[in-house]
Chain A
Amino acid sequence: MIRVALPQHLRTLAKVGMEVALEVEAPVTQRRVFDALEAKYPMLAGTIRDHSTKLRRAFLRFFACEKDLSDEPIDAPLPEAVARGVEAYYIIGALAGG
């Protein structure tokens, strides 16, 4: 199982705790994580990546294993520790705004 940590506003929207567990087929990539997340929690579709362009929302960034993966190729394999569920994949809102 893949562990995905969500920012507060998406946790309340999806009515879940800080982390959700997802079944993701290998090789585990960011695209597959998003696909699995939106399939299990349809209300999150469009909130992390644009419905049409599938581009990351500008004020969100993605981290795992102390690395910023936000601009990595979306089909690149995620670190092994994420794929095995040892480390969580973090979706984080930018620290901006009032």
Chain B
Amino acid sequence: MSHVRVLVGTRKGAFILTSDAKREKWDVQGPLFGGWELYHLKGSPVDPNRIYASQTSAWFGQVMQRSSDGGKTWEAVGNKFEYDGPTGTHKYYDGSDKPWAFKRVWHVEPDPKDADTVYAGVEDAALFKSTDGGKNWSELAGLRNHPSSSGWMPSAGGMCLHTVLFDPADSKKMWIAISAAGCFRTEDGGKTWRPSNNGLTSKYIPDPKATVGFCVHKIAMHKSKPKTLFLQLHWNVCRSDDGGDNWRIISGNLPSDFGFPIAVHPHEPNTVYVVPILSDSEHYTPEGKMRVYRSKVGGNEWEALGKGLPQANNYMNVLRDAFSTDSLDEAGIYFGTTGGQVYVSPDGGDNWRPIVQNLPSVVSVEVQTLK
């Protein structure tokens, strides 16, 4: 019988939440790695019991953890993330040139076909790959060596590579996103990259022809429709129907077009979810209401979903990796808040209920649908 496993990364450890397909009663395991920041955990699509986790600390640096039994036991694997060759410099907040320096792994993306192959998106922005289950990591340096990289600048949260998407038909074709450099795509497994930001606009970038510098917060894709991408920008929700060559704004009637996560319904490629927050200076939901917004027509026309969510005195945020879906027949939608709640909707967003309410601040949520 199908069931779900929710991998939750928080500022003070990881939690694993499990339920049967009804998604009513939950078992809570954790905290794992208590006291450490767990930026992201994600399971392999080909071996769901293989889970990778990014464990970080301002004191002790980066640790990578790997489980081969669905999170029951863990093994620290390789944490040596060394840039390949001269690091060069990027722009800093004050306009000065700053040498690249590894800080942490923001995002782990297991390969779609091989459980021992996994990618890591890191700060300062770079993409690393391991082909031995996380023991050894090599940089795909073509990205950081792109001619534009000396002009990249960090967002307020750091210059992080936070999104890795694969073309379902060919995993050598990938999209990544960096705050605040933008989207880049490769068609040769990461050797060469090109910016993919045409049509994105930002009031902070006066040059209308700028090809990089965009603070992309997240990109999402439905596997059945890989040329259609949805993107949450610093301001604006956008869409591309040509694999990221061109973007257009689909913010429509959203109460705010600022936010972090964006996701696509697992069975409906044109159904998209975002969580608007008030502004870049006020990282909480408008009107004190926790609301997810859903468009069933691929953008522009959005409906508020708040049934079962706090509708007064709610000033939470949902971070870029803290929104996920399962793939049960009646799709479950999940998100975690900076206030430590994890919510589930077992009916595509119409009705919500909390799974847990008092965790440390949630950084990431990933859902595994298990047979």
CB–CB A9/B79 < 8 A: no
For residue A77, CB closer than 8 A to chain B, the reply is no
CB–CB A51/B80 < 8 A: yes
Residues of B within 8 A of A97 (CB): 58-59
**Bound Cα distance from A93 to B58, whole angstroms:** 10
CB–CB B82/A13 < 8 A: no
CB–CB A47/B82 < 8 A: no
CB–CB B76/A43 < 8 A: yes
**Bound Cα distance from A91 to B34, whole angstroms:** 19
Residues of A within 8 A of B62 (CB): 46
CB–CB B58/A46 < 8 A: no
Contact with A along B52-90 (1 / 0, CB 8 A): 000001111111000000000000100111100000000
CB–CB A43/B63 < 8 A: yes
CB–CB B80/A9 < 8 A: no
For residue A60, CB closer than 8 A to chain B, the reply is yes
For residue A57, CB closer than 8 A to chain B, the reply is yes
Given known A-B contacts A9-B36, A43-B76, A93 and B59 have beta carbons under 8 A apart = yes
Interface of B is mostly: loop
Residues of B within 8 A of A9 (CB): 35-36, 57, 59-60
B11 to chain A, nearest CB (A): 8
**Bound Cα distance from A48 to B57, whole angstroms:** 11
Our pick among B58, B63, B80 for the contact of A13 (Cβ within 8 Å) is: B63
For residue A50, CB closer than 8 A to chain B, the reply is yes
For residue A94, CB closer than 8 A to chain B, the reply is yes
A69 to chain B, nearest CB (A): 18
Contact with B along A1-18 (1 / 0, CB 8 A): 000000111101100000
Tell me which residues from 77 to 130 in chain B have a Cβ below 8 Å from any Cβ of chain A.
Answer: 79-82
Bin the interface of chain A by size: 20 to 34
- Cβ-closest chain B residue relative to A43: B76
CB–CB A60/B59 < 8 A: yes
Residues of A within 8 A of B58 (CB): 59, 96-97
- Cβ-closest chain A residue relative to B55: A13
Residues of A within 8 A of B34 (CB): 12
Our pick among B33, B35, B63 for the contact of A47 (Cβ within 8 Å) is: B63
For residue A65, CB closer than 8 A to chain B, the reply is no
B252 to chain A, nearest CB (A): 38
For residue A36, CB closer than 8 A to chain B, the reply is no
Residues of B within 8 A of A45 (CB): 79-80
For this complex, 6 residue pairs linking A to B, each with C-beta atoms less than 8 Å apart, are: A9-B36, A43-B76, A46-B61, A47-B63, A50-B61, A97-B58
**Interface, chain B (partner A; CB < 8 A):** 33-36, 57-63, 76, 79-82
Give me the 3 closest cross-chain CB pairs, A-B, nearest first: A43-B76, A47-B60, A59-B59
Contacts A45-B79, A93-B59 known; list 20 others, CB within 8 Å: A8-B35, A9-B35, A9-B57, A10-B60, A12-B33, A12-B34, A13-B60, A13-B76, A43-B63, A46-B63, A47-B57, A47-B60, A47-B61, A50-B61, A51-B81, A51-B82, A52-B82, A59-B59, A60-B59, A94-B59
